[in-house]
Amino acid sequence: MGNKNWIVFANRDYCHHAEALYELGFINWKARKSFKMSIGDYVYLYVSDDRRVRFKTQVVAENCKRQDNKYWQVPPSHDPTYKLEYRDEYDGHELDDAVLREHGFNGGGSILTPSYKNTELLDYIESVFGKDRYGYIIDEVIPQERSRELARLIIPILIRWAKQGQTNKTYNHLIKELGYKIFSGIGKQLGKVDNVFKRFREITGDSDIPMLNSLVKDKDTMLPSEGFSIVYPNYQNMTDDEKRLLVIGLDTKAIGYQNWDWVLTALELVPSKIDTDASEAAIRSGKFYGTGGEGEGHKKLKEFIYNHPEALGIKDVKERDMEHILLSGDRLDVYFVLNDGSKMAVEIKPSTSPDADVMRGLYQCVKYKTIMDAEDKVHGEKANNSTILVIGSELSPENRKVQEVLGITVKEKVEI
């Protein structure tokens, strides 16, 4: 019978297993009658502080005296142990708790006792550890340490844009995402990123991995700058129309590519995410629903927009309404029907609205347009609807990213 794969729960409140593995190269795991490991078995550690599977170890001895005492935060057991020797560490996101649940994981409580029976889960974990990794390419191709750090930030940002279908990003967008106000050498850094991908394609033999650099454009021309010729020879000799056709083709390949998660894992990179966790948690808590009626600031701004649509650049209003009821039962703060038959829903968020409520407004705009389009479809009418979010403040950096992904029109800092 072959070696088994196990999953165990490593509770950091009890023992600093990671430090033990780094410094000793092994940990001791208490032997119990409820399970029986064998020499040669592989043991994957789900670590409590990261809420993910992080380490791969192997049973190399049984009935051992404990040798990792100093890493324990509570008095350790002195019963016989298995010696689990370090084999590998995974630092990506494919073994996060949420992902594991898609592959049969039932939560930390299910592995309080070491288990080998969840073969679906363990086969998945084994497959992730078995993937080839090419993070060394970045160090090999880029000699400067700071440029390596930037490449490890830039590549995940570009991949996020590709996955979101974002093809209208500029050099300034990238500079801001990197945390800078000014960065004169961003083009050179993008050239180094492309060198990483060229080497990556060469080593993996996968010529289908798209170029990402075309996603970043000059704000005036909405084309890559002349420096793009570094990654695409003859670019500077093309006409603007030829450049545009080239870039559309490259962008289409980038946003249509289905294996960006594999690229991130293979290059050992951390995915770039829009940090909306706090706002999402606040929204899902329901705290913005039924909080005592309409606030004075909301009411005044709503009435102002109702009476002054020109503040939003809206002209030729045929009909208008406040608290217009859609067939879904949703109420629109302000609703306009224009002379050309088009309809516009306006969602209002006064300056007192927290970021979470503003983010909710962005998603409300998505919903309202979808419902208005559905109403027109049922009525046999041509859908010509739009939405706009009016806020009394300015979008936060994270909400601006959400707005750009969703393509919502926002009118900021509207004052009465």
**pLDDT tens digits, residue range 391-413?**
999 999 999 999 999 999 999 99
Q: Which pLDDT score, from 0 to 100, does residue 106 have?
A: 86
Question: 17: which 2 tokens?
Answer: 């297993």
Tell me: pLDDT of 182 over 90: no
Last residue of a domain, one of 100, 129, 158: 129
Residue with tokens 């224009």: 338
Residue closest to 397 by CA, chosen among 168, 159, 177, 157: 177
**Is 152 a domain residue?**
yes
Last residue of a domain, one of 237, 266, 295: 266
Do 181 and 258 belong to one domain? yes
C-alpha span between 400 and 136 (Å, rounded): 34
C-alpha span between 364 and 355 (Å, rounded): 14
Task: Note the pLDDT tens digit of each residue in 380-391.
Answer: 989 999 999 999
Tell me: pLDDT of 291 over 80: no
Do 247 and 316 belong to one domain? no
C-alpha span between 84 and 77 (Å, rounded): 16
144-158, 257-271, 302-316, 348-362: least confidently modelled range? 257-271
Question: 378: which 2 tokens?
Answer: 């049922």
Sign of the CA dihedral with 233 first, then 234, 240, and 246 last: negative
Per the structure, how many domains does the chain have?
Answer: 3
Domain of residue 87, CATH code: 3.10.590.10
Residue closest to 15 by CA, chosen among 66, 54, 73, 61: 73
Do 116 and 37 belong to one domain? yes
Q: What percentage of the chain reaches a pLDDT higher than 90?
A: 76
Do 242 and 325 belong to one domain? no
How confident is residue 194, by pLDDT bands cut at 50, 70 and 90?
very high
Q: How many CB atoms lie within 10 A of CB 187?
A: 18
| Domain range enclosing 210 | 136-266
Task: Note the pLDDT tens digit of each residue in 27-44.
Answer: 999 998 889 999 999 999
Do 75 and 166 belong to one domain? no
Q: Of how many residues is the chain composed?
A: 416
Last residue of a domain, one of 266, 300, 329: 266
Do 322 and 240 belong to one domain? no
63-67, 227-231, 299-303: least confidently modelled range? 227-231
What's the pTM?
0.68
Q: Which pLDDT score, from 0 to 100, does residue 289 have?
A: 56
For residues 362 and 229, the model is more confident at 362
Do 104 and 162 belong to one domain? no
How confident is residue 130, by pLDDT bands cut at 50, 70 and 90?
confident
**Is 416 a domain residue?**
no
Residue closest to 153 by CA, chosen among 101, 207, 115, 189: 189
Give me the DSSP letters along 2-58.
PPPEEEEEE-TTTB-HHHHHHHHSEEEEE--TT----TT-EEEEEETTTTEEEEEEE
For residues 344 and 315, the answer to whether their CB atoms sit within 8 Å is: no
How confident is residue 288, by pLDDT bands cut at 50, 70 and 90?
low
**Is 196 a domain residue?**
yes
Question: 190: which 2 tokens?
Answer: 């993008």
Do 24 and 120 belong to one domain? yes
**Is 125 a domain residue?**
yes
**Is 342 a domain residue?**
yes
How confident is residue 72, by pLDDT bands cut at 50, 70 and 90?
very high
Do 122 and 164 belong to one domain? no
User: Which 3 state secondary structure label does DSSP give 233?
Assistant: coil
Domain of residue 300, CATH code: 3.40.1350.10
Q: How many CB atoms lie within 10 A of CB 95?
A: 21
Do 114 and 70 belong to one domain? yes
Do 179 and 107 belong to one domain? no
Do 291 and 360 belong to one domain? yes
What residues have CB less than 8 Å from 137, skipping those under 6 apart?
Answer: 196, 199, 200, 203, 267
**Is 244 a domain residue?**
yes
**Is 272 a domain residue?**
no
Q: Which pLDDT score, from 0 to 100, does residue 238 have?
A: 92
Q: Which pLDDT score, from 0 to 100, does residue 294 have?
A: 82
**Is 70 a domain residue?**
yes
Residue closest to 43 by CA, chosen among 111, 99, 108, 100: 111
